[in-house]
Structure formats: structure tokens, C-alpha cells
Structure 1
Amino acid sequence: MQTMSQHLAQRLKGLRTELGWSLDVAARETGVSKAMLGQIERGESSPTVATLWKIATGFRVSFSSFIEATPEPVRETLHRVADEIRQQPAGEGMLVAPLFPFEPVIGFELFELTLLPGYQRESEPHAPGVTEHVIVIAGEMELLVEGRWHRLGNGEAMRFAADRPHGYRNLGKQPARFHNLIHYPPS
């Protein structure tokens, strides 16, 4: 089985080749340094979630496509267990379980995300038209939308335009777990 680092390296190099982009062009489009992109392609670096988002946005592809291969179009029931697929990219304070990776025919990806106590991440805007749907399933968290932090507790949800700056944080003493459905407009 391929590790996340190996998959990420192959995916990044494959996208660059497909688009005919040099490392310089990829760095300009993603806002990630040429050196860092080279390290990722060689499997020498484990990028943070924020860096992965920058790369996905720059290449105009889904975030989940860097975590695991895009599944074949689903014609049958698909059963996934978050405990079996949960990962902690770059050892930072967010755990990621790609419950349903992006499929073009469906137009969205669904994650279970866990914010460890004290974790905060502010995200740059995603591609135009991208929306996020956050549903808290355990604990409490705060969501930065339109320049203001909103407290969300268990069972609360918020939808917002993710093509603007936004963020996530957990100021509490317990992990906060939520589902995040990210919808991409048809290209």
C-alpha cells in the first residue's frame, strides 16, 4: 500500500507534467516555494494541511486528491470507517479522515476533521465558487467566516463561501470533531 507521502509526491509530479509546468511555474501558481515543491516531489517533506491547500488551490484540484487516489466512479455502496483512515499530516494539530474523496461526477469531498486543543488554522481563499459545509459532531470549535469567529457546538452547522479567507480553531481543552463537506463548482 502506498503511503500518503508517496501518493502526494506522485500526484504533484503528475499534475506538473500534465500541465507542462516547471517548478518555477508551480511555485508561482501555488504560493509554495520551488524548494518545498521539490522536496515534496522527492518525498523528503511532509507538508502541513495549509501547504496542501495552497497546492490544491494553485493546481485547481481537490484537497483530497493529494491524500489518496480519486476513487473509481461509485456505482455501489461505499463503506468507510474514519478510525481506519484518519491521518495527521505533518504531525500538526489537525487529524484528517477523507471519508469520501472528491469525485467529479458528484462535485464534492467529505472529511471528518479533528482539531486538537489549542489548534488554529487560517485558510487562504479556495478557488472561486468553492463552498464549505461544517457540521460539529463532538466538542466545540470556532469558525472564522467573513472576518468574525463564530462558536459552534455539537450539532451546530454552518455553510460559507470558501473562496474567501476563513479559519478553524479549538480554544477548548477537548478535541473538536466535525464533518466538512467541500463543494467544487463544475469546471
Structure 2
Amino acid sequence: MEIGTHLASTLKSLRQQRGWSLDRASEATGVSKAMLGQIERGESSPTLATLWKIATGFNTSFSGLLTVPASGLKEPLFVLGSQQQADLPDEQLQVRPLFPFDARFGFELIELTLPPHTEHASEPHEDGVVEHVTVTAGTLEVLIDGHWHPLNTGDAVRFAADAAHGYRNVCDAPATFHNLIHYPAGTRA
């Protein structure tokens, strides 16, 4: 299923499961009623920041908005290098869900690539969300508690993501990193 189609049906389903109107969903997410309606109809592709607002407002995972969760543990789950990246408008940050959120484990694993000389600010996520960032290529700086911390290939950091944080690449080559995002108990796919 194409990402935009999955997002549209997932958002509508989440809202209907809760019995929320678009107005109520807008209040919970901080995303306008008009934008939520456009996303549900497949008429608009949200930015990364908007997706995080929706995930937080609905107490659901980021990757659950973009991918169909794996059905079971009996069969291996292979993720191919050619797997589709999330096509997010006006975003320089490339996002590729590797292992979508599964409530049995409480985490998702996402690969992100930040082009040279770019910065991405991230608003606080839900209370209790923790990010584990490992740089797989290039050099990345991570904003934690108002301070930038440099990470080189192979370096990693864990931090509470329920506060403002960010990523920047001040180098001439792309920076790629894996982000294992752990959610508190009760988070839904």
C-alpha cells in the first residue's frame, strides 16, 4: 500500500475509533481541522513535524502512520534496501521506517538521512518517549537540553525525547543515522 493511502486510512480509522470529530482531533494534535481533513482524503502530504504532532495527539507511533505493522513473529521480517522512503513534502530529511512500531516491543526503528548543511528541529514527543540515535554514516550533531553534541560514524546517544531536540549536519556529506524510538506502555500502533 502506498504511504499516502495508508496514512489517510490510518488517520481516519484512529479518529473514528476514538469517536473524535475533526475539531476534537485538531485540539488533540495541534494540527488544523482543514489539514487533518485533507490528509484523510489523501489531498495533502504532511510534513515530518505534522506527522509527529498527529502521532503524539493520538498516542500512537510515528511509523504506524506510515507503514502496515508486521502481523506476527513466526515469520522473519526482511527490510530490503530498496524499501520505499516516506515521501514528505518540503522535507530535506529522508525517512525510511526499518521496523515499524509493534506494541509487543514498544519501539520502532527508523533510518534517517540529513543532507549536508541542514538542520531539523523536533518538537517534544509524548511523555516517556526515548530516542536512541546511532550514526551509521557521516557526522551528525544532536540538540539535547539546549546543547549541540557531535556524533561521528559509530557513535550513539540515548535521550528523553519529550523535550525539544534536533539534528543538524554541518558537513559536506550526508549524515545517516538509525533512530530507535521507545514509547511508554499503552502506546498503540
Question: Which deviates further from its counterpart, 82-91 or 102-111?
Answer: 82-91
Change in CA separation of 1:21 and 1:104 when aligned onto 2, cut-off 3 Å: same
- String of CA shifts for 1:54-99, please: whole Å, max 9, x gaps: 1000100000011111221322322212332333311511111111
Following the alignment from structure 2 to structure 1, what is the Cα–Cα distance between the partners of residues 170 and 87?
19
Q: Which residue of 2 aligns with 1:144?
A: 143
% identical equivalent positions? 55
Matched residue SS, 1:102: strand
**Structure 2, gaps ≥5 residues long:** none
Following the alignment from structure 2 to structure 1, what is the Cα–Cα distance between the partners of residues 123 and 81?
26
Following the alignment from structure 2 to structure 1, what is the Cα–Cα distance between the partners of residues 73 and 183?
18
Q: Which residue of 1 aligns with 2:86?
A: 87
**Structure 1, gaps ≥5 residues long:** none
- String of CA shifts for 1:148-171, please: whole Å, max 9, x gaps: 111111111000001111111112
Question: Which deviates further from its counterpart, 7-16 or 79-88?
Answer: 79-88
Question: Which deviates further from its counterpart, 70-79 or 14-23?
Answer: 70-79
Shift of 1:11: 0.5
Q: Greater relative contact order (Cα 8 A, min sep 6): structure 1 or 2?
A: 2
Shift of 1:175: 0.8
Letter in 1 for 2:18: L
Matched residue SS, 2:17: helix
Any conservation in 2 of the 1:125–1:164 contact (CA below 8 Å)? yes
In the alignment, structure 1 residue 48 sits paired with structure 2 residue 47:
yes
Question: Which deviates further from its counterpart, 18-27 or 111-120?
Answer: 111-120
Letter in 2 for 1:185: P
Following the alignment from structure 1 to structure 2, what is the Cα–Cα distance between the partners of residues 16 and 127?
18
Any conservation in 1 of the 2:6–2:65 contact (CA below 8 Å)? yes
Any conservation in 1 of the 2:93–2:120 contact (CA below 8 Å)? no
Question: Which deviates further from its counterpart, 104-113 or 88-97?
Answer: 88-97
Letter in 2 for 1:159: R
Q: TM-score, normalised by structure 2?
A: 0.94
- String of CA shifts for 1:3-26, please: whole Å, max 9, x gaps: 111111100000000001111111
Q: Which residue of 2 aligns with 1:10?
A: 9
Letter in 2 for 1:65: G
Shift of 1:186: 1.2
Matched residue SS, 1:85: coil
Letter in 1 for 2:6: H
Letter in 2 for 1:172: C
Q: TM-score, normalised by structure 1?
A: 0.95
Any conservation in 2 of the 1:82–1:112 contact (CA below 8 Å)? no
Q: Which residue of 2 aligns with 1:68?
A: 67
Matched residue SS, 2:112: strand
In the alignment, structure 1 residue 59 sits paired with structure 2 residue 58:
yes
Q: Which residue of 2 aligns with 1:170?
A: 169
Q: Which residue of 2 aligns with 1:186?
A: 185
Any conservation in 2 of the 1:46–1:90 contact (CA below 8 Å)? yes
